Chains A and B, each alone.
Chain A
Amino acid sequence: MNCTKCKTKAVIGLPRHNAAFCKGCFNGFVHDQVARAIKSEKMFGKEDRILVAVSGGKDSLALWDILLKLGYRTDGLYVDLGIGSYSEQSHAKVTKFAEAVAASHGAALHLHTVEQEAGAGIKELAQLIHRPTCSTCGTIKRYQFNRVAIEQHYDVMATGHNLDDEAARLLGNVLHWQEEYLDKQGPSLPASVAGFAKKVKPLYRLSERELAAYAVLNRIDYIVEECPMAKGSKMLQYKEVLNRLETESPGTKQTFYWGFLEKQSKKQPTETTMTEKDRAVLHPCTSCSQPTTAGVCSYCKMMARAKTVVPR
């Protein structure tokens, strides 16, 4: 197989684009897809300060790498969940990337350690407060990313969600007809109220396979192991099904997700309605002042409960 562009030996075939690329042309393709995403969804500009949520996995490290190479002002944030060797390894990968790559671009790494604040790692914490681990994890990450973005005055925060993540999530929402979630599946969510950072997903045009290839080709050392909590998750099942379809009919995932985005954009002026809805229901948490629909936000409630049950 030869590169569609320069005719040298290809390293990866991209059936959904009816193309194959050598390393150089593939990097060009990836950077181009991200640049297009940023522009078409008005995510951020060269002056903006961007906080990248990094987990040590391929997507978030590739995202940080791409944004640095495209010349954006980015710093990283890693949340140490305290899940045994998985967290140790992923932390090490993030630190390594920050020192070897990001530092030379003048980018810094922020760190939040769950155990330090909650007195226990995420698994024990979830058990103690009787909530599923992933939901506890979601609350903590969401809260901490937003807190750092707001406190350190970042203009926007970026996450490594890719085409597969978004297509799988869309499939899940459609299968269960959770229409109320469909409005919120766009790759760019405005800062609807004071206290919430704008959130973007610059990788939504790239598949997981393409991002893994980018990481391998550019020698980005990422954690291949999964978070042990992910085993058997619904998301994984949806992704598997979609990848079977994709292999049979290339382009299925992008037709599904991008087609959805196109329909949404024609349907409604999403930003305003979503912003209005948010403004109507959100007000500052009485304890920490991050916006919430309740009096005390779910993060503060969780920490309060943790304090009563976690032996210090």
Chain B
Amino acid sequence: MQVQLSHPARTVEVKGPKKVKELLRELNLVVEAHLVIKGDDLVTEDEMLYDGDQIEIRPVISGGSPRFTPHVSRLTSQE
């Protein structure tokens, strides 16, 4: 199956059949930081994926310093 990854954007080929959970483990990716999308649909960790499936593994963590920090007197430490 074709697996599309981000940061940096790349595509890898992985042999199926394989559960979502196993795919993530094989790629050394943490469940809590990713969503797995098959075609257009979100799938759970126990879903079986087959050769020929179009898979996207999307990272969900956005970094950055504060997208916004509070008031002047409440400056946070992460600036």
Residues of A within 8 A of B (CB): 1, 10-13, 20, 53, 55, 57-60, 132, 134-135, 137-138, 141-142, 145-146, 159-161, 164-165, 169, 172-173, 176, 178, 181, 184, 189, 192, 196, 199, 207-209, 211-213, 216-217, 224-227, 229-231, 233-236, 239-240, 243-244, 246-247, 277-278, 281-282, 291-293, 297-298
Given contacts A169-B78, A244-B30, list 18 more A-B pairs with CB under 8 A. Answer: A12-B44, A13-B44, A13-B45, A59-B67, A142-B71, A161-B68, A184-B74, A208-B62, A227-B63, A229-B64, A230-B62, A236-B63, A243-B30, A243-B32, A244-B32, A278-B73, A282-B72, A292-B72
In the complex, chain B residues whose CB is within 8 Å of the CB of A277: 73
B6 closest partner in A (C-beta)? A224
Q: Inside 8 A of B37's CB, which chain A residues have their CB?
A: 216
Bin the interface of chain B by size: 35 or more
Question: Smallest Cβ distance from A243 to chain B, in angstroms?
Answer: 4
Q: How far is the CA of A13 from the CA of B31 in the complex (A)?
A: 10
Do the beta carbons of A243 and B33 come within 8 Å of each other? yes
Residues A243 and B73 in contact in the complex (CB < 8 Å), given A13-B45, A216-B42: no
* Secondary structure call for the B interface: loop
B67 touches A57 (CB 8 A): yes
A290 CA to B67 CA in the complex, in Å? 20
Contact partner of B61 (CB less than 8 A), chosen from A164, A173, A229, A281, is A164
Residues of chain B touching chain A, judged by Cβ–Cβ distance below 8 Å, are: 6-7, 30-35, 37, 41-47, 58-74, 76-79
Contact A141–B67 (Cβ < 8 Å): yes
A276 nearest CB across to chain B (Å): 11
